[in-house]
Every structure is written in structure tokens, then in C-alpha cells.
């Protein structure tokens, strides 16, 4: 079986970090995020992978090459323009030679049981099967309703309270799909098409679309808060990965003085942390310098960031590559642009 991994998004919600790297190449503990998806596929016995690319495909290809070092055969297809989730799959059709294939959204961390999903897919004779994950409140998502045999009854986009049925399970699209080759016939070529809003409803209308409910770990890493939570969850072993656990994670070349490093911290390569500093529940990039007595808590720091002595970088802060946080500054719940300088008086000077 093959897998198509949709890695074409620009990751706008993770800016400024994604200004210099595509979202799939964002580090998740010890490796790029999309490497965890490759690991997941390899554990399920899937070795033939297609990356459907858009934004910065060069970064993916230069890191993964032909996939041999990662246990897969890897091919690339680049959308000439944004084609939507279904359009991207259709654009990959010349590389899809299997009768059945997986599609993975490139920003979902999960340890979904792909073997069990495949068993249901085969048993039902489905054209397509959607993995579903439970949520407490479906109002921000698209609710997927199933018949008793797990065929899809309907999709309800961001349902209001009066659209919900008493006692019904709230299940949403989990971003992993199994599709027969015939599903490609439902997608017009060369057009921007949404698999969620156009292709799946069309297949459901024929009775060929099924849902696979799962309680496996699931997280969309597309926002700073969720991306941070994903790193913390991997360090805690809350999701099955090949990353080292338990945390903290310190990459090669990290230098730590007499400092406090929490078990929920990820520290990138060649970073220096001075005496008296504290790093808790944060993701710190490569070659970062954190000065004496500085605090970093609940934050995301890009590469080559400088946090000067006594500064406090606190909950909700996202710092772009090469930015400088001045001595004694306190920064909370802010996005600091790439290369910017934050002065002790609170002024933020953009890079020239």
C-alpha cells in the first residue's frame, strides 16, 4: 500500500517560525514533524510514500532525499498552485500505482491503528474510510455522523447547539483516510478541490464512504499552543513515537550551566544556557543563547535567538529566528518577528 502525505501548507498560524521552514519541517522533539508520520507509516508496514508539496518543497527533499535513510521509498510531487486537499491528491495520481492508498494531512500527530482501520475498510467494501476522533465540543469543527454500519450519514460543519442530537457522539475528521483508487474519479483534475467539503460528500452520496472512530492519540499541530502541547506529549510518552522519552530532550552540543531544565522542555542543538537560567515547558531552537538568570516558560523560540540575562520569556510567546530579547525584559503572550530586537523599555525594533 502507498501513502500520500499532504505537506503543501504554508503554516501561517505558526509564523514567524514557518517563515524560514515549512510546517512539516518544524522540529518535534528530536526530528522534523513529518518524520514522525513516516515512522508511523513504517510501523504499519507502509514503505511507499508520496510527499504532496507546495510551500518550500526544497527543504523537504534536501532532508529526506529518496527516503532510504528513513526506511521508505519517497517520491515528491509539487502542486503548481494551491489545489486544496483533494486537488493535491489528484495531482499525485501519476505516482499512485496501488489499488488502495492512505492519505495523511501533514499536520496531524497520531498513533492511530492503521491495521485496524484497514481491516474495517476491507470488511465494508468502502470506496473511502475516514478516521474519526472524539471531541467534547464539535462547534469549531465539522461533525461527522454515521449510520449503524459506520457508513457516513452526513457532515455538519461547525454545528450550532440546536443542530446537535441528544446523546450523539461528537466525532470529527481526524485527517487520515483510506481510499480505493476509484475514489480519484470523484476529483476533477487541475482544479482546487476540498476533500472534506466536496469529495467526501460526493462519495458519501453513493453509500461508499465510511467512518472509523478511534480513541487513539490525536493532535493538530497547526497552532503555537497545540505545537507546544505536542512536544510535551511526546516527551511524556502520551503518544507512540520513536523519540526518546521521558524528557527533557537536549540535542547534541547543548551546554547547560547551573540551570533548571524542566522535563517538558526541548532544547535544540548547540544551545547555551547560562547559570541561574530556567527553561520550562518550552521548545528552544538551535544555537540559542539564554543568559544568566533568564526565564523561558511556555514559549517557542526559533533558531539563533538570544535571551539576555535576567529576561523573562513567558507563556504564549513565539520568537522568530535570530531575534534578541534584551536584558531584564519581560515578554508574555506575544509574537516576536524574525530578527527583531526587544529593548528593556518594551520597544520592539524590526530587523533592518
Sequence-ordered list of residues with C-beta below 8 angstroms from that of 61, at least 6 positions apart, any chain: 76
Residues 225 and 254 in one domain: no
Which CATH number does the domain housing residue 193 bear? 3.90.550.10
pLDDT of res. 114:
97
pLDDT of res. 55:
77
Q: Specify if 195 maps to a domain.
A: yes
**Tens digit of pLDDT for each residue in 65-100?**
999 999 999 999 998 888 999 999 999 999 999 999
Residues 164 and 32 in one domain: yes
Q: Specify if 244 maps to a domain.
A: no
Residue 52 Cα distances to 21, 25, 60, angstroms = 16, 14, 11
Residues 264 and 227 in one domain: no
Q: Are 261 and 284 in contact (CB under 8 A)?
A: no
Which stretch of DSSP H or E encloses residue 50? Answer: strand 48-53
Q: Specify if 194 maps to a domain.
A: yes
- Residue by residue, pLDDT tens for the chain (352 residues) are 899 999 987 778 899 999 988 889 999 999 999 999 999 999 999 999 999 998 788 899 999 999 999 999 999 999 888 899 999 999 999 999 999 999 999 899 999 999 999 999 999 999 999 999 999 888 888 899 999 999 999 998 888 888 888 888 999 999 999 999 999 999 999 899 999 999 999 999 999 999 999 999 999 998 999 999 999 999 999 999 999 888 799 999 999 999 999 999 999 999 999 999 999 999 999 999 999 999 999 999 999 999 999 999 999 999 999 999 999 999 999 999 999 999 887 777 776 5
Nearest-angstrom CA–CA distance, 263 and 7: 30
Residues 152 and 62 in one domain: yes
**Which value, in Å, is the radius of gyration of the alpha carbons in the chain?**
22
Cα angle 344, 229, 301 (rounded to 5 degrees) comes to 30
pLDDT of res. 134:
94
pLDDT of res. 146:
95
Return the bridge partners of 37, or none: none
Q: Are 282 and 265 in contact (CB under 8 A)?
A: yes
Which CATH number does the domain housing residue 276 bear? 2.160.10.10
**Tens digit of pLDDT for each residue in 3-28?**
999 998 777 889 999 998 888 999 99
pLDDT of res. 182:
94
At residue 297, φ and ψ (nearest 5 deg) are -145, 125
Q: Are 129 and 120 in contact (CB under 8 A)?
A: yes
pLDDT of res. 45:
95
Domain boundary among 236, 266, 290: 236
Residue owning grid cell 467539503: 197
Task: From the candidates 23, 90, 158, 192, give the one annotated as an active-site residue.
Answer: 158
Whether 158 is a known active-site residue: answer yes
Nearest-angstrom CA–CA distance, 202 and 183: 10
Give helix 57-64 / helix 33-43 axis angle, nearest 10°.
Answer: 50
Residues 210 and 305 in one domain: no
Nearest 10 degrees: Cα torsion 79, 192, 11, 211: -110
Residues 107 and 207 in one domain: yes
Residues 228 and 85 in one domain: yes
Domain boundary among 173, 208, 236: 236
Nearest-angstrom CA–CA distance, 295 and 287: 17
Domain boundary among 236, 259, 293: 236
pLDDT of res. 352:
56
Total tally of structural domains belonging to the chain: 2
Q: Specify if 295 maps to a domain.
A: yes
Specify the pTM: 0.92
Residue owning grid cell 507509516: 41
Q: Specify if 242 maps to a domain.
A: no
Nearest 10 degrees: Cα torsion 220, 226, 230, 233: -120
Nearest-angstrom CA–CA distance, 77 and 89: 10
Residue range(s) defining the domain that contains residue 311: 249-349
Amino acid at each position: 500500500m502507498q501513502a500520500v502525505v499532504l505537506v503543501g501548507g504554508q503554516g501561517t498560524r505558526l509564523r514567524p517560525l514557518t517563515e524560514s521552514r515549512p510546517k512539516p519541517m518544524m522540529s518535534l522533539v528530536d526530528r522534523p514533524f513529518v518524520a514522525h508520520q513516516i515512522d508511523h507509516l513504517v510501523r504499519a508496514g507502509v514503505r511507499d510514500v508520496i510527499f504532496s508539496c507546495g510551500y518550500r518543497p526544497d527543504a523537504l527533499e534536501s532532508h529526506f532525499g529518496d527516503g532510504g535513510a528513513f526506511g521508505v521509498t519517497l517520491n515528491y510531487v509539487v502542486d503548481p498552485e494551491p489545489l486544496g486537499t483533494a486537488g493535491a491528491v489528484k495531482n499525485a495520481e501519476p505516482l499512485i500505482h496501488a489499488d488502495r492508498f492512505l492519505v495523511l494531512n501533514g499536520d496531524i500527530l497520531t498513533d492511530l491503528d492503521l491495521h485496524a482501520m484497514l481491516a474495517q475498510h476491507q470488511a465494508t467494501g468502502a470506496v473511502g474510510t475516514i478516521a474519526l476522533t472524539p471531541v467534547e465540543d464539535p462547534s469549531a469543527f465539522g461533525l461527522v455522523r454515521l449510520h449503524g454500519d459506520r457508513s457516513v450519514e452526513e457532515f455538519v460543519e461547525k454545528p450550532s447547539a440546536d443542530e446537535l442530537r441528544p446523546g450523539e457522539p461528537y466525532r470529527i475528521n481526524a485527517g487520515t483516510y483510506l481510499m480505493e483508487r476509484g475514489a480519484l474519479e470523484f476529483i476533477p483534475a487541475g482544479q482546487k478541490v476540498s476533500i472534506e467539503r466536496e469529495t467526501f460528500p460526493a462519495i458519501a452520496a453513493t453509500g461508499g464512504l465510511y467512518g472509523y472512530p478511534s480513541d487513539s492519540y490525536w493532535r493538530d499541530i497547526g497552532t503555537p499552543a497545540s505545537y507546544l502541547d505536542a512536544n510535551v506529549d511526546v516527551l511524556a510518552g502520551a503518544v507512540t513515537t520513536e523519540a526518546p522519552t521521558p524528557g527533557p530532550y537536549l540535542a547534541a552540543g547543548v551546554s547547560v550551566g547551573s540551570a533548571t531544565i524542566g522535563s517538558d522542555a526541548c532544547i535544540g542543538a548547540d544551545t547555551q544556557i547560562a547559570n541561574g537560567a530556567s527553561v520550562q515547558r518550552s521548545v528552544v531552537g538551535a544555537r540559542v543563547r539564554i543568559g544568566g538568570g533568564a526565564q523561558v516558560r511556555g514559549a517557542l523560540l526559533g533558531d539563533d535567538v538570544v535571551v539576555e540575562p535576567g529576561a523573562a520569556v513567558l507563556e504564549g510567546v513565539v520568537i522568530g529566528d535570530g531575534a534578541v530579547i534584551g536584558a531584564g525584559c519581560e515578554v508574555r503572550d506575544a509574537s516576536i518577528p524574525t530578527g527583531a530586537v526587544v529593548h528593556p523599555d518594551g520597544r520592539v525594533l524590526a530587523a533592518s
